[in-house]
Amino acid sequence: MSWLETLMPDEYVASIYEIDLERLWGRGIRLILTDLDNTLVPWNQPTVPESLTKWLKQAHDRGFHVCIVSNNTSGRVLEFAQLSGLPAVGAAKKPKPIGFQQALDRFQMDAKQAVMVGDQLFTDIRGGNRLGMYTVLVLPIEPNEWWGTRMVRNLERVTMPLLCARGLQRPNSLRR
Which residues 102-161 are close enough to bind Mg ion by CB under 5 A? 119
Binding mask 14-53 for Mg ion (x = CB under 5 A): ---------------------x-xxx--------------
- Rounded least distance, CB 53 to Mg ion, Å: 19
- Rounded least distance, CB 86 to Mg ion, Å: 15
- Rounded least distance, CB 176 to Mg ion, Å: 26
- Rounded least distance, CB 25 to Mg ion, Å: 24
Residue 27 vs 78, nearer CB to Mg ion:
78
Residue 35 vs 156, nearer CB to Mg ion:
35
Whether 83 contacts 44, CB under 8 Å:
no
Cα–Cα distances in angstroms (integers) from residue 176 to residues 37, 141, 142, 170, in the given order:
27, 20, 21, 10
* 143 half-sphere exposure, CB direction, 13 A CA radius: 1
Residue 96 vs 112, nearer CB to Mg ion:
96
Q: What is the DSSP string of 96-155?
A: SHHHHHHHHHHHT--GGGEEEEES-IIIIIHHHHHTT-EEEEE--S-S---HHHHHHHHH
Site of interaction with Mg ion (CB under 5 A): 35, 37-39, 119
